[in-house]
Every structure is written in structure tokens, then in C-alpha cells.
Copies of this chain bind each other. A is one copy, B any other.
């Protein structure tokens, strides 16, 4: 995505966020918009701490509390999706403008691929009907080994991955 499109996307999600904040009676603080913007300038998946460090490195003055608070707001607005890829560490990703997808996680290198499959939709509606459940969301993760560049075996036999740590400058 080029710079122009990225700026337009960010403008768009900020407007959506504004709407939700107004509608729910929350205040529009600069920190909230700054966090939203950073998320939409970042790529792929990240955890709360990485986002916090990233904000700090950009010389924003934010606290972890605000990062977590804002992430919650954004998840409730559907602007951000929250995942658990098998570790006790929540992973997030921007979700506006991206079509629904699921994840394939490499147990060796922790890489995350995305894929779409319409059958998951069918399963959701069918199971909701059969089990008398109103299904509103799902999470599907496939775990395995990529045949690619990743040759190192970090946790043989275990089902875990190593998060890439970002360091504070």
C-alpha cells in the first residue's frame, strides 16, 4: 500500500473511531488516536508490549495502561482483532479493510500466514443452528511447520512459538 492510500485509510478509521467514541460517550483523547494511527501504520501481528515500546520509540508519552485500554476500545469497535496463538500472550492486528481470514502458525519459527476458506462460514451457521447457539465470532488456527526458510527448531515437540522482541532504544 502506498503512502497516499495509507493516509486515506488512517483518516477513514479515525472517523469510524470518532463515531464509536461519541456513540458510547467516551472522550476523544490524542493518545487514543495516536495509538490507532500507529497500529494502522504497523503491519501484521503484534502484542501489547511491542506496541507500547513502539510508541515509546516514536517519543509518544503513553503508558501501558492506556495502550491496553485503547486496544480494548478498538477491539470493541472491530477496528482491531485480538488473537491467542497458543501462548499466554495476546496478539493483535488491524482489521478494517481486510477481509475475514484465519491463521496458520509455524511451530518452529512463529511465522503467521493468513488464509480464507468459505467452509468455515458454513460450519458456523450450521453449528449455530444445530446447537441452538447464536454464533457471533470464531477463531481458527492451524499449527504446523513451514517448509521454507525456517529451518531452526525452537521448541521441538511443543506447541509454542517465540515472539520477536522489539527493544527500547
A residues at B contact (CB < 8 Å)? 72, 75-76, 82, 84, 86, 88-90, 104, 106-107, 113, 115, 117, 119-120, 122-124, 126-128, 130-148, 157-159
Cα distance, A133 to B106, chains bound together (Å): 8
The verdict on A148 contacting B136 (CB below 8 Å), with A115-B127, A119-B123 known, is no
Chain B residue with the shortest CB-CB distance to A143: B137
A155 to chain B, nearest CB (A): 11
- Total identical chains: 2
Q: A88-B88, A123-B120 are in contact. Are A144 and B128 (CB under 8 A)?
A: yes
Q: A82-B159, A88-B88, A159-B82 are in contact. Are A134 and B144 (CB under 8 A)?
A: yes
19 intermolecular pairs with C-beta atoms under 8 Å apart: A76-B158, A88-B89, A104-B133, A117-B126, A117-B127, A119-B119, A123-B140, A123-B142, A132-B148, A133-B142, A133-B145, A135-B144, A136-B145, A137-B142, A137-B159, A138-B141, A138-B142, A138-B143, A139-B141
